Amino acid sequence: MMETFSTHPDATVRQVFLADKAMNPSLAVKGIKYASWSPLGCDSGGRCLLACLTLDHRLTIHNSHKHLEWNMLVDLTRKYSERLKGRGYAKKDNKQPQANLADFEEVQRRFCMQTPLRMEWSSVYTTKQVQPDNTGTDVEMVLLAVLMENGDLVLWKFELPFSNGADVVFYDIIESGVTRPSDLAWWEYESADRRMSGLIVGSEVGPVKIVPVSLSGVKGYFTLRHPVILWKDCDEIAVENIKCVPMIHPIHKSSCSLIVASRGCYVFWCLLMISPAGLNVHNSHVAGLHSLPVVSLAVSRQGVAVYTCSIDGWIKKLTPTFTENTLIFKQEDMPHLENLTGRRIHGIAVSRNGAYIGMVSTQGIVDGCHPINRTYQVHFVSLKTPETAAALLLKSPAQNLYKMADVLDILRCDILKTKCIPASLQEELDQRIQEANSPYLWRFKLFLVRVLYQSLQSPPTSYRWKPTHGGTKVLIQDVEEEEEDGVDDNEEDVESGGVKLEKEDNREEQMAEVQAWISSVETHLMRENMKKVLGVVYLNTWITQNTSIPTCGLVDYLAKDSNDRASEVKTQRRLIITAS
């Protein structure tokens, strides 16, 4: 086939074949074209799965159990190719193609139907599964939608926790009808007892539409009756960087969805609201943002904000404001970093809680020419001040430090820099602990104190990676001059040495105080965990005659604190059980 079409007498066929990198790969290209993270808790270790689309059009699923160690679980490209081969490369209607491989259009069709362009993970769904004893059990699953070059949407089902690549199941195939597709995103709507899902598909020609997805067996989910056209004009402006954010309309007090995407120098937005009359679609464009095309778009879900970036490194922030029937975007210019001047920006991303923006850049024009080799750099820009980060952590509705890692890092850097915990934060935290006494606040306090202890430690004077130099040659004349200079410097060394010793003593005293502080907070958390474990044991144990619950001395340890009322209750409970 390679020789047939690479030397085809028809120039239109020959040039199309030679220019297509999927049908005619000139060399083995290494690198990642696109990557997508699954929701948290999808693999056997409670972490994310990573879907990778390489430059040679291969889609694989990976997981990680160690730092920078990735394991490939399944090759979806090979799995789907085997499925297509078994069906004779037929479409969804199972109608066998009449043409053979001597027809160039048939070869193109077969390559397009198995070449992935984009893939996106859905949220976690819960289904009912019937057991052999006719009892029902809840099973969690996640779907991976893959957009093919011909516009088909291939859905793969992953039952959670996912650990074996052989367990992935082909779920469905949807013919979107989009010509020259460019990007993909999930649309998921939830309001009270009504939930719906769909796939947003953009085109290089211009249109944007939502394709219905049937979630059979998922409780509470409805299916759209027909596709929803979000933008229908074919203006030859490609749709890229599609993002969908669920929101609450502050005026109507109802759920809605904000869809944003980049189209050239513009930002396309669409507001979807479901009313008793049906689905309402409001759309428009934000113009005048950039003089160059938008290369990347990111959305911060913490106080919804849209960040756009052009190839020259200028970043704009769009904040949506609701009116009765539409949206108004407030535009702000983000500070331009000096070290990004003259560099080319390839993409941006916002951290989970909007604490940082990450940017990937390479060299721009060097001496009027494009560089032969490019060096990629990742830059981080903080979007929140330490005061704002502290307020977010104190009022966090999630009460989970793990999910607030990016905001915690803002405070960590501030404490390492100033070598102290902000007084206002410490007072507010102590006051909230007295009022609520929640484990989250105690863990937050332990984090702050540990970072403070780390900031007081002296930096290492030697590094194991540094080579040690051998003996060096010294001239006798240099030694005599150093001895003469040393006499004059002795007095200064004695004075500076005394100041250094005093500072060292103060630092050691401060570190001892902080270490005692850490021990007291750790002891409190340990006692609270002990009481929690004992409470679960006593409340969930069926007590019969001569029942003995081994506590390994936990109750005796807790009883040492006479001021802890909760431990007294646990002790009395233990005595009652023993007496019975």
Rounded to whole angstroms, the Cα distance separating 212 from 214 reads 7
Q: pLDDT value at position 580?
A: 46
pLDDT for 489: 57
Region 497-526 average pLDDT:
83
Count the neighbouring beta carbons within 10 Å of the beta carbon of residue 124: 16
β-strands 69-75, 59-66: how paired?
A: antiparallel
pLDDT for position 574 = 52
Instruction: Supply the DSSP string of 196-248, one letter for each residue.
Output: EEEEEEEESSS-EEEEE---TTBTTEE--SS-EEEE----S---EEEEEEEEE
Could you read off the pLDDT of 199-250 as tens digits, one per residue?
999 999 999 999 999 988 887 888 888 999 999 999 999 999 999 999 999 9
| Amino acid sitting at position 570 | K
At residue 539, the pLDDT reads: 67
What distance in Å separates the CA atoms of residue 491 and residue 517, rounded to the nearest whole number? Answer: 40
DSSP 223-236: --SS-EEEE----S
Indicate the pLDDT class of residue 258, thresholds 50, 70 and 90: very high
Q: For position 494, what pLDDT does the model report?
A: 55
- Give 425-472 as a DSSP string: HHHHHHHHHHHT--HHHHHHHHHHHHHHHHHHSPPPS--TTSPPP---
Residue 371, SS3? coil
The pLDDT score that the predictor gives to residue 472 is 47
At 523-573, the pLDDT tens digits run 889 888 887 877 776 666 665 656 666 666 766 777 777 666 665 555 555
DSSP annotation string for 392-418? HHHT-SS--SGGGHHHHHHHHHHHHHH
Q: Could you state, in order of their start, the residue ranges of all structural domains in the chain?
A: 386-457+505-537
Residue of higher predicted confidence among 318 and 224: 318
Query: What is the edge-to-edge ordering of all strands in the sheet holding 305-310?
Result: 294-300, 305-310, 315-322, 327-333
Mean pLDDT, to the nearest integer, of 326-354? 90
Residue 479 has pLDDT above 50, yes or no: no
Using only C-alpha atoms, what is the Rg of the chain? 31
List, in order, residues 6 or more apart from 515 with CB less than 8 Å away.
453
Q: Please tell me the distance from the alpha carbon of residue 99 to that of residue 84, in angstroms, as a whole number.
A: 16
**pTM (2 d.p.):** 0.82
Tokens of 300: 């911060």
Looking at residues 303-328, what average pLDDT do you find? Answer: 91
Long-range contacts, 250-259 (Cβ 8 Å, 24+): 250/322, 251/322, 251/323, 251/324, 254/191, 255/189, 255/190, 255/191, 257/187, 257/189, 258/304, 258/320, 258/327, 259/185, 259/187, 259/200, 259/208, 259/230
Displacement of CA 32 from its chain's centroid (Å):
17
Residue with tokens 């702050």: 448
Q: Report the distance separating Cα 172 and Cα 189, nearest Å.
A: 20
pLDDT recorded at residue 469: 52
- What confidence tens digit (pLDDT) does each residue in 394-409 have? 998 889 998 899 999 9
Instruction: Kindly tell me if the per-residue pLDDT of 430 is higher than 60.
Output: yes
Listed in sequence order, the residues at least 6 apart from 526 whose beta carbon sits closer than 8 Å to its beta carbon are none
Convert the pLDDT of each residue in 350-397 to its tens digit. Answer: 999 999 999 999 998 888 888 888 889 999 999 999 999 999 999 988
Asked whether the beta carbons of 223 and 213 are under 8 A apart, the reply is: yes
Residue 497, pLDDT score: 59
- Nearest in space to 179 (alpha carbons), one of 199, 213, 202: 202
